[in-house]
Amino acid sequence: MGMAITFLFCIFLGRFLYIQLVLSPTLRARALDQWTREIPVVAERGNIYDAGGELLAGNRTVYTVYARANAVSDAEGAAQFLAATLEMDYEQALQKLKDRSKSEVALLRRVEKSKVARIEGADLAGVYYARENLRYYPHGALACQVLGFTAYDSSGASGLERYYNAFLAGRNGEIVYDTDLVGVETEGSAPAYFPAENGLGVRLTLDYRIQALAEEVMGRALAESSAKGARCVVLDPADFSVLAMVNLPAYDLNDIPRNDLTALNALSRNRLVSDIYEPGSTFKILTAAANIEEHLRGNKNAFSTAHIFSSARTRAVDGTTIRCWSDHKNGKHSNQTLAEALNNSCNPCFTDIALSLGTQKFYEYLSAFRFGRGTGLDFSGEAIGMLLPEQVVRACDLARIGFGQTIAVTPLQLACAAASAVNGGYYYAPRLVKEICNADGSVRETLSPVLLSRTVSGETSRILTAMLEGVVKEGSGKRAYVEGYRVAGKTGTAQKFENGAIAQGKYVSSFLGYFPANAPRYLALVIVDEPQGAYYGSVVAAPLAGEIFRGIISIKNLAPVEEGV
């Protein structure tokens, strides 16, 4: 008997200790919730600015109107007033005002201040409101895929709004009222106020003037060529700051197509970062850089700048034939140097380079240029591209990689690799945000450039740039030339593949260029996807880059650069 009593006592004691020590916080919270009601104090989301302080994403104050059915004294009268004031359906309003199954219910969100003032003047029992912040984008569709948008709860849903949400979001507060058991505010009680912590701002590397310029140029190209898409990224090769990112078609961030998820997913995708393609001849910049660097290092398998490539118009590799796209002089395929091969965009010459360097050495450069892995951009959803594993590469694969086929890259990967090839060999992590700001605009944290690796030497960059200047002066890139300024670059025209086969009549036209060639500050990769009619990069993309460069010169008031400086 005594043992049974002791056993029962231990059970009761254990239960008592469990309630006191384990369940106590939960039970205390439940009790507090029964005797209090909270009105949220919404934190103001941090602003997003361009590099010069131009507001790109801010807030507009709106309100949410709530009701506590237990505290409503005249449901019918309140429903009539709210239906008229908020333009609500009367029956819907009445149903919510009588719904006692919930402690509180939201009657309507995103209500303007003028309507809230009328509700406040009516002094409706059980009806109250709370301030909210509606995200507002002053420039509409500008950089929409980069900025991204917020969800209904004001949290970041895509783009930089999502990536930097921890900084932008802040922390909500609340006003707590003492109430009786049915939710009616206790007379004479004083509310407790817990303030919100507003979010921090972010200052981007984007220059909205360059962004707007590039969007205007690419928008006209999209319309005039009836293309599927038009894209452009502008980098500062000195530290890989992203100055502009254009993805067209686009959409207005103040009118997001939330009801059409297919359209929203397509329009909000930052294809410069998330999509891959075969770059074609713009990739020859990197093959040339690898060859020059190896020649300077004394590699006998590399070709000198004075080397004369064979005049044969084709190369046979593993039973496949690689052809040059055209004849060069007087209807004949000519002997040519590396500089001339770049001017003429001759595929066989770059096949020779890749095969001569060999798979292991060429793949060392592909790795140094970060193909097959992310660039380090501060943005979600970056693709790593498609690069065949080194151990399965055949000679015909290596030959085609040399001129930009059998490899798929993101536009950003290509732009960054080229930037490092021409800036002295410095590969930085590209960045979209340079500063975290306090509410008053003062700098809280600076996000400095991060050097990831060295790719080539300064001498290689100098030699390569001289060749790429020749492409713009007298080769396929002539239409990107800007009188009085040293512009260098390379055109590209790539056939598209669909379901493992060449898609007839579908091309990607591109141009990758930069200026001033002697000290690069602006590098642009221009891509027109499936232009109708003319499709060569020299005809479609190069003029667009030249127009963007001229616009930047005007915006920045840049003085001409003397030859040889």
The residues carrying an active-site annotation are 281
DSSP β-bridge partners for residue 59: 135
Sequence-separated (6 or more) residues with CB below 8 Å from residue 106 = 64, 65, 66
3-state class (DSSP) for residue 561: coil
Nearest C-alpha neighbor of 410 from the set 244, 528, 276: 276
Number of neighbours of residue 43 by Cβ within 10 angstroms:
19
Query: H or E stretch including 494?
Result: strand 488-498
- Distance CA(196)–CA(193), nearest Å, equals 9
- Distance CA(24)–CA(17), nearest Å, equals 10
Q: What is the dihedral of CA 459, 463, 469, 470, to 10 degrees?
A: 170
Nearest C-alpha neighbor of 203 from the set 57, 91, 313, 344: 57
Query: H or E stretch including 437?
Result: strand 433-437
Distances from the Cα of 130 to the Cα of 43, 116, 135, 255, angstroms: 11, 10, 16, 24
Q: Report residue 175 as tokens.
A: 């006003």
- What phi and psi, each to the nearest 5 degrees, are found at residue 338? -65, -40
- Distance CA(284)–CA(307), nearest Å, equals 17
